[in-house]
Structure 1
Amino acid sequence: MSDDSADANKMPLLEHLIELRQRLLYSVIALFVFFVICFFFAQELYNFLVQPLADILLERSTPEHQRRMIFTDLTEVFFTHVKVAFFFGAFIACPIFLSQIWLFVAPGLYKHEKSTLAPFLIASPILFFIGGAMVYYAIMPMAWEFFLSFEVPANEGGLAVQLEAKVNEYLSLVMKLIFAFGLCFQLPVIMTLLARVGMASSEGMRAKRKYAIVGVFIVAAIFTPPDPLSQISLAVPIIILYEVSIWMAKLVEKKREERAEEMERELDDETGTD
């Protein structure tokens, strides 16, 4: 084999690597730009995350004792702002990440593969956003009310037990909850993809529905406070999403059967023609 033919075989791979580097570079630049923008508004963004707790604490405040949040390290607030800026910056830049992934892989996909993958790239961030919004507006207010119910007022001969929330610890807890709920809401995407590659089926998911419901309530008990209302608030949407996953898997199976029948007809026509 000549050197020219060897170079010709290497060029496509080299071009793919160059394109991949460009796509990654665009994604990193987008993340950096949004991170810088969010950093200038880090305090406002943090106030937004702390608002569910602030609403409750302000109701419990008195003129003599104003509730507050504390930090015990000189660098704690700064690095908390960095985390907040990165968290929101990554979320805002997510559509750009996904679009760059799509632009990189789409040229190598067949038409039916493009029509299959595109909806998942769109649905995934939307479902994550819905899960994060649910934990912020529904779960967190109930959870904070529950945990703050363990405060003990001061009395004669006893000391008060009151929350003095740390800035970084609160952010870590909120981010864990948002990620947990956002990932739970990816269930339809994951199960539909598994059905697409043949690792799951609608009939199998139906048969294991009762086990899935038990598992959902176990997950809800882990990620929510131990009160029934919070657990049900997470469990019910996930169960609904599980049913949606069964329906989506059924659609995938139906399309697969239609494609198989179409290929059989084309094969029969070719055989008959010969």
Structure 2
Amino acid sequence: MALFNRNKTSDTAEMSFVDHLEALRGHLFRSVLAIVIGGIIVAVYNDFFVRNVLMGPTHGNFPTYAWLCKVGHALGMGDTLCMKIMDVKMQSTSVSGQFSMYFTVLVIGGIIIAFPYIFWEFWRFIRPALTKKELSRTRGVIFWVSLLFFSGVFFGYFVIAPYTVNFFANFQLDENIQNQWTIESYIDTLIPLILGTGLAFQLPLVMFFLSKIGLVTPSFLRSVRKYAIVIILIVAGIITPPDVISQIIVTMPLILLYEVSIWLSARVVKEKAKAEALEWS
């Protein structure tokens, strides 16, 4: 029994279940290979990625700190957006701690670098199941998915991560208690923030495709807007420190992405109505 049609030489060309699994294995293998290549790039430039990228938010000269301070002064907010220069001490409490974290950095760095190719392999796998009309409506999907992902990653890295790191670095219950983080806890905090934001920025495209298949309509998205804003506020509260300014900075882009999702959904519905009108005429 065929799972879907292959749009290569004929619309009727079919793949068996075994062929389908074989194709999936090939896509997964090439995706893993791309991650390995990305990891090798990180390994070659290890000093730069560790000192300037991974540990960047812990440095007082991280560009976000100076930029936000300038924005605060320009808006007449004084030093409200300025962050206190921190003194973060890192330590490794296990024999193989730094060694295992090194490979974690290679894998995560490889995934981020290879993301466009990984999604391209995923797209190659599902593309044969789409009709020619559907394919024509999804042109540029790899570009837009990659753009939104990297936009989310950059936002998470340059906005959420420094706010989180700075807040917890300067938070003290008592002046006699020093913040000495383990490298494991630092990375375990940073990675979900950055990758999670990259995935969260996919919201407009998710809503776009849900609208394409009729599961979501702009009227529905408008009717649940207030609930969506509450959920966004909760998410922002979870991924940011308990700081009002940082929560606002995270909330605003997510609300904007939701509004963009409504606009895209409305556009899809309008195109569908136009196509149906042409069919009846």
User: What TM-score results when the alignment is normalised by the length of structure 2?
Assistant: 0.78
Q: 1:179 to 1:60 in 2, by over 3 A?
A: closer
Q: Within the alignment, does 1:54 sit opposite 2:59 as a pair?
A: yes
Q: 1:235 to 1:138 in 2, by over 3 A?
A: same
Q: Secondary structure of the residue that 2:38 maps to in structure 1? A: helix
Candidates 102, 109, 120, aligned match of 1:99: 120
Query: How far did residue 111 of structure 1 move?
Result: 2.3
Alpha-carbon distance, 1:77 to partner: 0.6
Alignment of 1:259-270 (within 5 A): 259-265=275-281
Instruction: Read off the aligned partner of 1:245 and give its amino acid letter.
Output: S
120, 140, 144: which is aligned to 2:161?
140
- CA distances 1:182-238 after superposition (whole Å, capped 9, x unpaired): 222111112112211111110111122122212211211111111110110111001
Equivalent runs, 1:79-118 vs 2, <5 Å: 79-118=100-139
- C-alpha change, 1:260 and 1:144, in structure 2 (3 Å) is same
Q: Does 1:35 align with 2:39?
A: yes
Larger mean Cα displacement after TM superposition, 51-60 or 176-185: 51-60
Number of residue pairs the alignment of both structures matches? 247
Where 1:55 maps in the other structure, the secondary structure is coil
Superposed CA deviations along residues 134-167 of structure 1, whole A, max 9, x for unmatched, are: 122122222233223323786xxxxx22211111
Higher helix share: 1
The offset of 1:11, in angstroms, is 8.3
Q: 2:226 aligns with which of 210, 222, 227?
A: 210
Q: 1:143-222 alignment to 2 at 5 Å?
A: 143-151=164-172, 160-222=176-238
Mark the runs of 5 or more structure 1 residues left unpaired by the alignment. Answer: 1-8, 62-66, 155-159, 266-274
TM-score by length of 1: 0.80
Q: CA deviation at 1:43?
A: 4.2
- Contact 2:160 2:193 (C-alpha < 8 Å) held by counterparts: no
Deviation for aligned residue 1:30: 1.9
Contact kept, 8 Å, 2:58 with 2:86, in 1: the verdict is: no
Tell me the alpha carbon deviations over residues 5-56 of structure 1, each in whole angstroms, 9 at most, x when there is no partner: xxxx998425555444333332222222222332333443222122111227
Q: 1:24 to 1:181 in 2, by over 3 A?
A: closer
CA 262–82 in structure 1, closer or farther in 2 if over 3 Å, else same: same
Q: Distance in 2 between matches of 1:114 and 1:189?
A: 15
Deviations 1:62-113 (A, max 9, x none): xxxxx53110111111111101111111111122222223334434432221
Q: Bigger radius of gyration, 1 or 2?
A: 1
